[in-house]
A = this chain, B = another copy of it.
Amino acid sequence: MALMTLADAVATFVRDGQTIAMEGFTHLIPFAAAHEIIRQGRTDLHLVRMTPDLIYDQMIGAGCARALTFSWGGNPGVGSLHRLRDAVERGWPRPLEIVEHSHAGMAAAYVAGASGLPFGLLRGYIDTDLGRVNPQVKAVTCPYTGESLATVPALRPDVTIIHAQQADGAGNVLLRGIAGVQKEAAMAARALIVTVEEVVGRLDAPLNAVVLPGWLISAIACVPGGAYPSYAQGYYARDNAFYLVWDDVSREREPFGRWMKAHVLGTPDHAAFLRSVGVISTRDASGVSA
């Protein structure tokens, strides 16, 4: 692995047209990396993520995406993702091809990717229209019972990007708390970028902790607050107010455009973004509970 700036990591590994997975199940969502991709004007991306959340609403609205593979596309606890809806319902800023799964199906597809298998197997999509509208969902017959089971093709992103709490000098990464599907997305990818809250001498990792060895990782960037407005267990809490405000910011195209210009395109990096949206900074991480 190489320790570099987030700008360099994105410039080095993220290319127009690639399939990019940015995971984090409400926890440790890599917002800083998404903003940097938007700043660098990447486009034609096939975005993959179980829950697009605000992170992909912003990227879709900014015109980065040609396609989206997902399983639940709402603003958690709030309602719609307006930019996602605008793209799907009205093709703005460009038409968006969607590949839609259930959570269980998408999890199985990541597991297959991480496992070097061509497909994942599940009792899923039973008697639903999802299997009908997603031609990727097929079936195999059990060689023992004769029953039919659903299959999903393995997910193998060109690049997976995740956020975690700590990296050590060797680039080993510790992820604490809700781990979602990050290990699978990380191990299924051809390249892996990890942003972390801090680089430490020794990971605060008990036996059986979720640790990704440095040799799996293409690039590590230290980006404090890199998951904001989602959260990083032990570092800061989720900014639920931001998720509520986003409902207004993103509802119409022009206010969304102004907001992106002011806070993402108009800022050089994540620290500047955090300042521009008025996030309270504290240098005393220990005083903060997430």
Contacts and interface: CB of A to CB of B under 8 A. Distances in A.
DSSP majority for the A interface?
loop
A138 interface: yes
A169 B257 CA distance: 56
A102 interface: no
Given A179-B208, A206-B206, A145 B118 contact: yes
B119 A143 contact: yes
A151 interface: yes
A155 to B, nearest CB: 12
Contacts of A208: 176-177, 179, 208-210
A140 B143 contact: yes
Interface residues of A, number: 28
Contact of A118 (B147, B151, B179): B147
Interface of A: 116-119, 121-123, 138-145, 147, 149, 151, 153, 176-177, 179, 206-210, 233
Nearest to A117: B121
Given A117-B123, A179-B208, A209-B208, A144 B138 contact: yes
Given A123-B117, A149-B117, A207 B177 contact: yes
Nearest to A139: B143
Contacts of A233: 207
